[in-house]
Chains A and B, each alone.
Chain A
Amino acid sequence: MNETELTNKQIRDSLSKTTLKKLIYDFYDQFESETIPHITLPSRTKKNIELNTDSDVWVYGDSESMRSAKTVKGATQLLKTSHVVELLMKGHLDQNRSSTLRELYYISENWDIAKFNEQSESDHLIEDLEIITGLQREDFHVRPEENGATLYGPIKIKELTKRGDRTMHCQDEVGEAGYQIPYNVETIKFVEHDAKFIIAIETGGMQDRLIENGFDEKYDAILVHLKGQPARSTRRIIKRMNEELKLPVVVFTDGDPWSFRIYASVAYGAIKSAHLSEFMATPAAKFIGVQATDIVEYELSTDKLNDQDIKALESELTDPRFDTPYWKDQINLMLKIGKKAEQQAFAGKGLDYVTDKYLPERLTEMGVI
């Protein structure tokens, strides 16, 4: 472990600790100045989401809600917040330890009336703390239960692990499963690469197909597995590669309303974590498919849209993130044909069809290759 990096981590941890301590100081000051303890937060509702025209991502607006110790609910929240902050400062940052979101929920069992009733409550509080402090849960040493997904392609990275630096090439020095994205991607440095673009893929099956068919080598592509709705670390590493390495990003998902939303969260940000949009969304990411027009043009095997699919599409028509002529056309067409298709549907035309014909055609069309 080299010394400057260690110092960087120490500086980050100490900054996080100061920020958290400040929050508790605020409470203390409120007691001293005879003010009923409270905190203010932006309202985390759909109505309070707006497009930041500078960064082109969706962030929280100005509407705020207050949590005050005047009510039982508010006071309980403040007590829980104090307990969590104490854990983060004294249990995590001081001792260089971490917990998963699930562990945090279990730790609270010892907090008597401050304990959480379900995990969603503690998850929510951690998100609140991110918003209040402007930090991220990684800064508090809180990680999600699952690791990020995998990455495969012509890029060499250096990861700072608890057991020292690890440097590896994500094509030559990893197994077929690829490089596992850690929960905190800020510890990764991009050493060198020969990539021309990044392709983010919804399903593991399709990523494997592209690896097996040598797509990454032929087109110098980095393949990132999204694993359904992508984890924060997955979205963050895509954003970092896009910004730091200036690599174009394309998103390849199933052709159904839910997959359109996967694309939207990669490109524009998610409503639940809009405070992190500027950090995680990649507005330059383009949608490759499966488009509704592809279903028609490539005559893919399809399933009928069910009622939920239709409702989801209709709600997307009023979602500001999809308010572009391109998306209106795609969504309306899907509603009209009443059909959806999976990525794997290309297999119906032969196992090489997707890598030899569909993707090259679409990438050329989009001007990526």
Chain B
Amino acid sequence: MVIADELAKKQKAISIAEFFEKNRQILGFDSGTRSLLTSVKEAVDNSLDACEESGILPDIFIKLENTSKTNLTLIVEDNGPGIVREQIPRVFAKLLYGSRFHAVKQSRGQQGIGISATVLYSQLTSGRPVKIISKIDRDAPAHYFELLINTQTNEPEILKDKIVEWDRLRGTRIELEMEASYAKGRRQSVYEYLKDTAIVNPHARITFIEPDNNQVIFDRATDKQPLQAVEILPHPHGIELGTLMKMLRYSESDKLESFLRTSFSRIGAKTAIDICTKAGISPETDPKNIALDEAKRLHEAFKRAKILAPSTDCLSPITEELIRKGVGKEHIVDFIETTTRPASVHNGHPFLVEAGIAYGGKLSKEDKVEILRFANRVPLLYQQGACAITHAIENLSWRTYSLNQPGGSIPIGPAIILVHVASTHIPFTSESKEAIADVPEIIAEVELALKDVARRLKLYLSRQDNLEKRREKEEVINVLLPRIAKKVGEILERPTPDIGPIVAKIMKNVFCQRVINQNGNGCEVEIRLKNHGDSTHHFNVHESLPCSIGSPSPAPKIIPVGTQIDHVWKISLKPGEQKAIMYQIEMNADEAAKLPQLVVEGIESELITGAKAVNV
């Protein structure tokens, strides 16, 4: 007998359930704490997805009970649309059964593995069936099921199927017992997961009862539903050649032009012709007859043709406003900025990135910033180091944005960085869906989003810094300098020195000073002007006097005003420049000392020391 025949006898199909039974760690069921977290996550994701699809504001209840030393019972209840009786066994007790696997649309769950894998885990570790109650309408009966998965056939085994009393309007309740442990006070915990979920789902109310009966409510911050995601056709950018060929072969159109229009989003008649021309293939060609090299040319033409970015309808951003509300309700901070990037595309799948930065408040100054990663509104708690979001954060030079970044890694400071990637297909590094793969298009978009919010953070911090500097200067000139001047005068038993020139210097102001010297019966008056600032100033100096003046240098413009005579000098001072105005006056020094303060016009009062600024 041929060896291959021999081997063929041993080759047999293994059931998918059997496969996962032996490889449960790839689905996120390794340690006791992780298994519990994965289970909560799968159940909550399903509830949120179901509510969103039916336009219901989610109200989700999660309860954990200690069943034995090693086992916990998890109960998750929602107010979602419920599940029709016929579907219940397959939704919960058949792996890879679900409505979303074939849809080009953003949703939390994708493969339909999640909840049934949880059921399988529960069944393997506790030996007990999953208990389901579901009700689809106020007047409909509530169906109660107890289910097991037949791991040989991947088919549900129904232990109980009956109608029960349930005082809810509608919704689904799932109860599972499993080997698990409840951890608190660390990043990877049910509590943190629910808190992060509440941040990106501010429209949801989440009630959590811990095993010690402690109740935590993450309340909703808005009644606004997130945008509904709609299904779309694949986008031509980035679709793989193999996929394109498969689509061509099974096309129902008999012309290439109509194939393009009906199989892809963002291709209209005009674009379709343009693509055909660029590819050098007649629009009339039957798609099924297109050969490999033609398909290659077509694939190339997708890139050269001008095609609009995929429509964002299929994506559901949290939106800038709701991220702000979500972060603000779970953290006390001084500053939050958020951004939603326009949609982009990776491998034919539309995606968009949203980012937020929160700063200050009660956040720790010495620790690394907290990174909150989300994929389709699901918090990612494990494998932070392997994730594209983390890599994009590390790629950025945070020092430019006023945050410390020792060793070019995760920055340090009182900040939270939040990144949400929404896509019809999130490229995870593994089936446990904890880290986003390093797809260049995604990294680039995350970086752009981060730069946007980081720029605003920098602006905020530099404004704070300027305010701080201003406060400091004010303290120096108003409190400290006068005291030093007074003290040194006292010690030396001399008059207190004039701090005016120094104040002008510190404030970078223009300094004005009138110096009077007795000369015979009259006085020599000198007006000293010095610009300590960084820019040139033009202004007028006014001396409003009861009498006329003698031998002025330079000569002023003279304007009689009632009994007074206003003398006006037009002055222009470059940075660092000083000038003097001299004149004589017929009064003694004592009288001259009582002259009113100098008046300047055409300069802001903050920029002048030693004179009164007026605006005429």
Question: In the complex the two chains form, is B483's CB within 8 Å of A31's CB?
Answer: no
**Majority secondary structure of chain B interface residues (helix, strand, loop or mixed):** helix
Query: Does any Cβ of A come within 8 Å of B7's Cβ?
Result: no
In the bound complex, CA of A79 to CA of B475 (Å): 13
Question: In the complex the two chains form, is B479's CB within 8 Å of A82's CB?
Answer: no
Q: Given the known A-B contacts A27-B484, A31-B499, A79-B483, are A72 and B491 also in contact in the complex, defined by CB atoms under 8 Å?
A: no
Question: In the complex the two chains form, is A86's CB within 8 Å of B476's CB?
Answer: no
Query: Does any Cβ of A come within 8 Å of B363's Cβ?
Result: no
- Complex contacts, A71 vs chain B, CB 8 Å: 472, 476
Complex interface: stretch among B88-96, B105-113, B265-273, B501-509: B501-509
In the bound complex, CA of A21 to CA of B490 (Å): 12
Encoded as 1 (CB less than 8 Å from any B CB) or 0, chain A from 107 to 139 comes to 000000110000000000000000000000000
Query: Does any Cβ of B come within 8 Å of A47's Cβ?
Result: no
Complex interface: stretch among A32-40, A168-176, A196-204, A250-258: A32-40
Query: Does any Cβ of B come within 8 Å of A83's Cβ?
Result: yes
From the candidates A24, A28, A76, A83, name the one contacting B480 in the complex (CB within 8 A). Answer: A76
Question: In the complex the two chains form, is A69's CB within 8 Å of B476's CB?
Answer: yes
From the candidates B485, B492, B497, B506, name the one contacting A70 in the complex (CB within 8 A). Answer: B506
Q: How far is the CB of A338 from chain B (nearest CB, A)?
A: 35
Question: In the complex the two chains form, is A79's CB within 8 Å of B487's CB?
Answer: yes
Encoded as 1 (CB less than 8 Å from any A CB) or 0, chain B from 471 to 496 comes to 01001100111011101111110100
Q: How far is the CB of B161 from chain A (nearest CB, A)?
A: 69
Question: In the complex the two chains form, is B488's CB within 8 Å of A72's CB?
Answer: no
In the bound complex, CA of A72 to CA of B471 (Å): 10
Q: How far is the CB of A17 from chain B (nearest CB, A)?
A: 11
Range class of the B interface residue count: 20 to 34
Question: In the complex the two chains form, is B501's CB within 8 Å of A34's CB?
Answer: yes
Query: Does any Cβ of B come within 8 Å of A206's Cβ?
Result: no
Query: Does any Cβ of A come within 8 Å of B498's Cβ?
Result: yes
- Complex contacts, B506 vs chain A, CB 8 Å: 36, 69-70
Tell me which residues from 144 to 177 in chain A have a Cβ below 8 Å from any Cβ of chain B.
Answer: none
Q: How far is the CB of A215 from chain B (nearest CB, A)?
A: 53
Q: How far is the CB of A132 from chain B (nearest CB, A)?
A: 15
In the bound complex, CA of A34 to CA of B501 (Å): 6
The residue of chain A having its C-beta at the shortest distance from the C-beta of B499 within the complex is A31
Question: In the complex the two chains form, is B502's CB within 8 Å of A37's CB?
Answer: yes
Q: Given the known A-B contacts A36-B506, A70-B506, A71-B472, are A31 and B488 also in contact in the complex, defined by CB atoms under 8 Å?
A: yes
Q: Given the known A-B contacts A31-B502, A36-B505, are A82 and B487 also in contact in the complex, defined by CB atoms under 8 Å?
A: yes
Tell me which residues from 22 to 51 in chain A have a Cβ below 8 Å from any Cβ of chain B.
Answer: 24-25, 27-28, 31-32, 34-37
Query: Does any Cβ of B come within 8 Å of A292's Cβ?
Result: no
Query: Does any Cβ of B come within 8 Å of A262's Cβ?
Result: no
Question: In the complex the two chains form, is B480's CB within 8 Å of A72's CB?
Answer: yes
- Complex contacts, B479 vs chain A, CB 8 Å: 113
Q: How far is the CB of B38 from chain A (nearest CB, A)?
A: 44
Q: Interface centre among B479, B485, B487, B489, by most A CB within 10 Å? A: B487
Question: In the complex the two chains form, is A86's CB within 8 Å of B490's CB?
Answer: yes
Question: In the complex the two chains form, is A28's CB within 8 Å of B476's CB?
Answer: no
- Complex contacts, B494 vs chain A, CB 8 Å: 28
Query: Does any Cβ of B come within 8 Å of A75's Cβ?
Result: yes
Tally of contacts, chain A with chain B, CB under 8 A: 70
From the candidates A69, A86, A90, name the one contacting B481 in the complex (CB within 8 A). Answer: A69
Query: Does any Cβ of B come within 8 Å of A101's Cβ?
Result: no
Q: Given the known A-B contacts A24-B492, A75-B476, are A31 and B487 also in contact in the complex, defined by CB atoms under 8 Å?
A: no
The residue of chain A having its C-beta at the shortest distance from the C-beta of B503 within the complex is A36
Q: Interface centre among A32, A37, A90, by most B CB within 10 Å? A: A37
In the bound complex, CA of A161 to CA of B483 (Å): 39
The residue of chain A having its C-beta at the shortest distance from the C-beta of B479 within the complex is A113
Question: In the complex the two chains form, is A37's CB within 8 Å of B484's CB?
Answer: yes
- Complex contacts, B490 vs chain A, CB 8 Å: 86
- Complex contacts, B492 vs chain A, CB 8 Å: 21, 24-25, 28
From the candidates A32, A36, A79, A86, name the one contacting B491 in the complex (CB within 8 A). Answer: A86
In the bound complex, CA of A86 to CA of B487 (Å): 8
In the bound complex, CA of A255 to CA of B497 (Å): 59
- Complex contacts, B488 vs chain A, CB 8 Å: 24, 27-28, 31, 82
- Complex contacts, A78 vs chain B, CB 8 Å: 480, 484
Question: In the complex the two chains form, is A82's CB within 8 Å of B491's CB?
Answer: yes
Q: How far is the CB of A121 from chain B (nearest CB, A)?
A: 16
Q: How far is the CB of B578 from chain A (nearest CB, A)?
A: 10
Question: In the complex the two chains form, is B505's CB within 8 Å of A34's CB?
Answer: yes
Query: Does any Cβ of B come within 8 Å of A85's Cβ?
Result: yes
Question: In the complex the two chains form, is B502's CB within 8 Å of A34's CB?
Answer: yes
Question: In the complex the two chains form, is B476's CB within 8 Å of A32's CB?
Answer: no
Query: Does any Cβ of B come within 8 Å of A89's Cβ?
Result: yes
The residue of chain B having its C-beta at the shortest distance from the C-beta of A28 within the complex is B488
In the bound complex, CA of A35 to CA of B485 (Å): 13
The residue of chain A having its C-beta at the shortest distance from the C-beta of B500 within the complex is A34
In the bound complex, CA of A72 to CA of B505 (Å): 15
- Complex contacts, B498 vs chain A, CB 8 Å: 31
In the bound complex, CA of A69 to CA of B487 (Å): 14
- Complex contacts, B497 vs chain A, CB 8 Å: 28, 31-32
In the bound complex, CA of A31 to CA of B489 (Å): 11
Tell me which residues from 493 to 541 in chain B have a Cβ below 8 Å from any Cβ of chain A.
Answer: 494, 497-499, 501-502, 505-506
Question: In the complex the two chains form, is A69's CB within 8 Å of B484's CB?
Answer: yes
In the bound complex, CA of A21 to CA of B489 (Å): 11
- Complex contacts, A72 vs chain B, CB 8 Å: 472, 475-476, 480
The residue of chain B having its C-beta at the shortest distance from the C-beta of A78 within the complex is B484
Question: In the complex the two chains form, is A113's CB within 8 Å of B505's CB?
Answer: no
Question: In the complex the two chains form, is A82's CB within 8 Å of B484's CB?
Answer: yes
In the bound complex, CA of A124 to CA of B230 (Å): 71
- Complex contacts, B491 vs chain A, CB 8 Å: 21, 24, 82, 85-86, 89-90
Q: Interface centre among B484, B489, B490, by most A CB within 10 Å? A: B484
Question: In the complex the two chains form, is B489's CB within 8 Å of A28's CB?
Answer: yes
Encoded as 1 (CB less than 8 Å from any B CB) or 0, chain A from 168 to 212 comes to 000000000000000000000000000000000000000000000
Encoded as 1 (CB less than 8 Å from any B CB) or 0, chain A from 74 to 109 comes to 011011001101100110000000000000000000
In the bound complex, CA of A224 to CA of B82 (Å): 93
Encoded as 1 (CB less than 8 Å from any A CB) or 0, chain B from 141 to 158 comes to 000000000000000000
In the bound complex, CA of A263 to CA of B520 (Å): 74
Q: List 29 A-B contacts (CB under 8 A).
A: A24-B488, A24-B491, A24-B492, A25-B492, A27-B488, A28-B488, A28-B489, A31-B488, A31-B497, A31-B498, A31-B502, A32-B497, A34-B501, A36-B502, A37-B481, A69-B484, A72-B475, A75-B480, A75-B484, A79-B480, A79-B483, A79-B487, A82-B487, A82-B488, A83-B487, A86-B487, A86-B490, A113-B479, A114-B483
Given contacts A71-B472, A72-B480, A86-B490, 17 further A-B contacts (CB under 8 A): A21-B491, A28-B492, A31-B485, A31-B499, A31-B502, A35-B502, A37-B481, A37-B484, A69-B480, A72-B476, A75-B481, A76-B480, A79-B480, A82-B484, A85-B491, A86-B487, A113-B483
Which residue numbers of A lie inside 8 Å of B, CB to CB? 21, 24-25, 27-28, 31-32, 34-37, 69-72, 75-76, 78-79, 82-83, 85-86, 89-90, 113-114
Which residue numbers of B lie inside 8 Å of A, CB to CB? 472, 475-476, 479-481, 483-485, 487-492, 494, 497-499, 501-502, 505-506
